[in-house]
Each structure stands twice: as structure tokens, then as C-alpha cells.
């Protein structure tokens, strides 16, 4: 194994307590947008087509009826509509507690790990900004020394986790003894926009809240780890106007057009060919896929372009169905599902398994990476500890 390598040695995730069925969110949106019966039926059909069962939000309002709201005004049309300032105040209140839940989930899964060994903290988010920011609050909450180095990666959208991992990889490779904690936290539901065009309806149907954390070190855990083998990034300028994220007077406004899957389909084949060539691998060497579930159609066009079966994307579909699209945090939910599955099914071999992962965002940006999963074969009795495997 190359001396200068980096490994994911622990993964954790967290979602807010408010779990809301997709059908209930559709009802909230229809009422908020003042839709007639015909448009309500169309909206309900759109929400069913997402293949999302429920989403999570720091706001309880999406699971309530008018008169019970605690964030949005209890008025027809939700007027006066919440401002950026009001939304950012809630982000400041909710983002770090959720991030700390993901960090605990991550580090609690790593027995005997000393949290004081962490040398760097990288935060990733595109749904809120303030300073002093979440990076400092996380360090204080964890009792880490003030000398802990910090990096904030902001406003990069759904592929932000890849930039966090690339930064962690570079730090670990260049700094002996570095231990990097990467934390993604996204509160997408703070940015509901009261517009009825198809692009906004689609965005409101997909996005949700969540946080994830990974620990990256220069040496692997003896029993389980994922080596960060290689990364590759490309831009598709033809899709620049189809996916965007802008600050407006009433929150951050997402542009996500129906053309995004088509643009991704045109570029995904070349992107992955170059990634594989750079890694000295072929598509036949890939055993598992960890695609960012940006939406059902995105997953389907990837399958068509790469000749994959739906089962190859089973982890992405599972995360999409259970949680929706949590922007940068989402792909780490997918990797955690793979990690848990490998814990219960890896038997009889010590060979590494290659995992191919992709995510997409404004630009239109395509990010990709290959990981090597190393899991020590487990005994049958250990495999029966109750961790649920992922199925479609």
C-alpha cells in the first residue's frame, strides 16, 4: 500500500427529528401556493414520481396545517414571507446541533478513537453562512484545541462533499499524523420558494435536511476502511443555466431545470472513462456504485449511459427514498449504506472492492472518485449483530 495514502475510517449521518411523508409535503405546498384542485392533482403526481417516501426538516411546519405553523406566517399565502435574515437565524440555531449528531454517529462507530487526535476540521455547506461559523462552534463543542486547523467549503452544492474529501486527502498525504474530520450539514428546507414554475416545483419536491461526517486518516483501520484512491472533475458549460443557487431577498433560490439529466447523460460517460483511465482500471473492476441521488431521472440516465441495472444503484435509490436529496451530505449517506452492507456481507476474502462515486452541481459540475473498500472477513455470529442491509 502506498505510504502516502488516505483512508475513510469512520462515517456518520444524522437527520432532524421532523420526518414528513412526501404526500404531506405536497399538501403543504399546494396550500401555500394556493393551487386549485386540478393543479393539486398535478403536484401530487409530481411528488409521487420522485420515488421519495419521506423527508426530514428542522421545520415542523411542513407536517402541520395553517394555524399551527411556527416559522411561516399563519396567513393565506404565508405573508409576510420569511426573509434571508430569518432563515439564516434558524440555520445558526439548527445546523451545528445536527452536525454534532452526525459527528457522534461517526466517531462512536470507531472504538477507542481519541477525539483529541483530530488536527483538522473541514465544514461543507451551501444552505447557510455566518461567521464565526460552524467550524469554530464544532471545535468548541468537541473540546478540541484552538490550534485545530479549519477549512470552510461553502456554496458548492451537491458535490461539496467531494471537495471536502479532496482537501482531506491532500492534507493527510502532505502532513504526517494529520487526522481530518469532514462535516457536511445542509438545511435545504429553509429555502422553500413560493413560486409555481416547474423548476421551483421540482426543487421543492426533492430537497431535505441532513448532516454527515467522515474521519480521514493516513493509515487504515485494521478491520474496515475505504481508501480514497482517485478523483476526477469536469465542467459542462452547456448546463450552466440549468443548475444554479442564488441568494435572493427571501432565501436561497435553486434553479434545477428538467434539462439537467440530459446534460449529465451527455457528459457522464467521458467523465468516468477519464477517471478509470487515470486510476488504471476498467468499468469491469468496479464492484459497487455510490451515485449522488440528485433525483430519480438523474439516476436513470446514469444507468442508461453506463449500461447499469437498477440494482447497481440500489444504495442511491434507498437513500433517495428514505431521505430525499440533502445536497452535499447525501453522497455520504450512500457511502454509509454501502459500509453497513459490507460489514454484514463481507466474508471469505481480503481483496479490496472498488467503489465508483459521482455527484453533480452548479456549473454544471461533475465530480467523481474511486474508493477501495477494505473489510476484514467477518464471522457469521458477528454478521448477525442486527445492522440492516440495503435493498431496493
Distances (CA, A) of 13 to 112, 270, 318: 20, 31, 15
Tell me the range of 26-30, 148-152, 272-276, 303-307 where mean pLDDT is highest: 148-152
CA distance 291 to 288: 10
The residues near 85 (Cβ < 8 Å, ≥ 6 apart) are none
**Residue 349 pLDDT exceeds 80:** no
**Residue 388 pLDDT exceeds 50:** no
The pLDDT of 317-341, averaged and rounded, is: 97
**Residue 380 pLDDT exceeds 50:** no
**Residue 78 pLDDT exceeds 90:** yes
Rounded percentage of the chain residues whose pLDDT exceeds 90: 72
* pLDDT tens digits for range 180-229: 999 999 999 999 998 888 888 988 999 999 999 999 999 999 889 999 99
Identify the residue with better confidence: 335 or 248: 335
Listed range (133-147, 167-181, 364-378) with the worst mean pLDDT:
364-378
Q: Coil, strand or helix: which one is 17?
A: coil
Q: Coil, strand or helix: which one is 392?
A: coil
Kindly report the CATH number that applies to the domain delimited by 224-384.
Answer: 3.40.47.10
HSE, CB side, 13 Å, CA atoms: give it for residue 90: 21
Max CA pair span of the chain: 63
Which residue(s) pair with 370 in the sheet?
A: 230, 356
**Residue 2 pLDDT exceeds 50:** no
pLDDT of amino acid 133: 96
pLDDT of amino acid 384: 39
pLDDT of amino acid 385: 37
pLDDT of amino acid 60: 97
The pLDDT of 287-314, averaged and rounded, is: 92
pLDDT of amino acid 200: 85
Return the domain boundaries, the chain: 224-384
pLDDT of amino acid 377: 57
* pLDDT tens digits for range 112-129: 899 999 999 999 999 999
pLDDT of amino acid 346: 60
**Residue 159 pLDDT exceeds 70:** yes
pLDDT of amino acid 95: 98
Mean pLDDT of all residues belonging to the chain: 91
* pLDDT tens digits for range 236-253: 888 888 888 889 899 898
358 is annotated as an active-site residue = no
Rounded percentage of the chain residues whose pLDDT exceeds 70: 94
E-strand spans in the chain? 7-14, 18-21, 54-57, 120-125, 149-154, 179-187, 209-217, 224-235, 243-248, 251-256, 286-291, 353-361, 365-375
Pick the catalytic residue from 106, 158, 184, 188.
158
**Residue 387 pLDDT exceeds 70:** no
The pLDDT of 363-370, averaged and rounded, is: 92
Could you tell me the pLDDT band of residue 1, with boundaries at 50, 70 and 90? very low
* pLDDT tens digits for range 48-65: 999 999 999 999 999 999
Q: What is the DSSP string of 172-183?
A: HHHSTT-EEEEE
The pLDDT of 18-42, averaged and rounded, is: 94
pLDDT of amino acid 390: 35
Query: Nearest Cα to 181, choosing from 212, 159, 209?
Result: 212
* pLDDT tens digits for range 95-116: 999 999 999 999 999 998 999 9
pLDDT of amino acid 389: 35
Query: Is 242:297 a contact under the CB 8 Å cutoff?
Result: no
Amino acid at each position: 500500500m502506498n505510504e502516502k495514502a488516505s483512508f475513510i475510517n469512520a462515517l456518520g449521518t444524522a437527520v432532524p427529528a421532523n420526518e414528513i411523508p412526501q404526500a404531506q409535503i405536497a399538501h403543504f405546498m399546494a396550500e401555500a401556493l394556493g393551487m386549485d384542485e386540478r393543479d393539486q392533482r398535478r403536484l401530487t403526481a409530481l411528488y409521487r414520481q420522485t420515488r421519495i417516501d419521506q423527508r426530514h426538516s428542522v421545520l415542523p411546519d411542513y407536517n402541520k396545517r395553517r394555524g399551527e405553523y411556527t416559522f411561516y406566517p399563519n396567513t393565506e399565502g404565508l405573508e409576510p414571507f420569511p426573509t434571508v435574515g430569518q432563515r439564516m437565524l434558524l440555520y445558526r440555531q439548527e445546523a451545528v446541533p445536527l452536525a454534532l449528531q452526525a459527528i457522534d454517529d461517526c466517531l462512536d462507530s470507531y472504538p477507542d478513537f481519541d477525539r483529541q487526535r483530530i488536527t483538522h476540521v473541514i465544514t461543507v455547506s451551501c444552505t447557510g453562512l455566518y461567521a464565526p461559523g460552524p467550524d469554530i462552534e464544532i471545535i468548541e463543542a468537541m473540546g478540541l484545541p484552538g490550534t485545530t486547523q479549519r477549512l470552510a467549503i461553502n456554496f458548492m452544492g451537491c458535490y461539496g462533499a467531494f471537495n471536502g474529501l479532496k482537501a482531506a486527502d491532500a492534507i493527510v498525504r502532505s502532513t504526517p499524523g494529520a487526522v481530518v474530520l469532514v462535516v457536511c450539514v445542509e438545511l435545504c428546507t429553509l429555502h422553500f420558494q413560493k413560486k409555481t414554475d416547474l423548476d421551483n416545483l421540482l426543487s421543492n419536491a426533492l430537497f431535505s435536511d441532513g448532516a454527515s461526517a467522515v474521519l480521514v486518516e493516513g493509515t487504515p483501520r485494521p478491520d474496515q476502511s475505504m481508501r480514497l484512491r482517485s478523483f476526477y472533475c469536469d465542467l459542462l458549460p452547456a448546463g450552466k443555466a440549468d443548475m444554479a443557487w442564488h441568494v435572493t431577498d427571501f432565501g436561497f433560490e435553486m434553479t434545477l431545470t428538467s434539462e439537467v439529466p440530459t446534460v449529465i447523460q451527455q457528459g457522464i460517460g467521458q467523465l468516468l472513462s477519464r477517471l478509470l483511465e487515470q486510476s488504471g482500471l476498467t468499468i469491469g473492476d468496479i464492484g459497487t456504485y455510490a451515485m449522488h441521488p440528485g433525483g430519480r431521472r438523474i439516476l436513470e440516465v446514469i444507468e442508461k449511459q453506463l449500461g447499469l441495472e437498477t440494482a447497481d444503484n440500489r444504495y442511491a435509490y434507498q437513500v433517495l427514498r428514505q431521505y430525499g436529496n440533502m445536497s452535499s451530505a447525501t453522497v455520504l449517506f450512500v457511502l454509509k449504506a454501502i459500509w453497513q452492507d459490507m460489514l454484514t456481507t463481507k466474508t471469505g476474502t481480503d481483496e479490496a472492492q472498488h467503489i465508483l462515486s459521482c455527484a453533480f452541481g452548479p456549473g454544471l459540475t461533475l465530480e467523481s472518485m474511486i474508493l477501495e473498500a477494505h473489510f476484514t472477513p467477518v464471522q457469521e455470529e458477528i454478521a448477525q449483530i442486527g445492522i440492516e442491509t440495503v435493498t431496493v
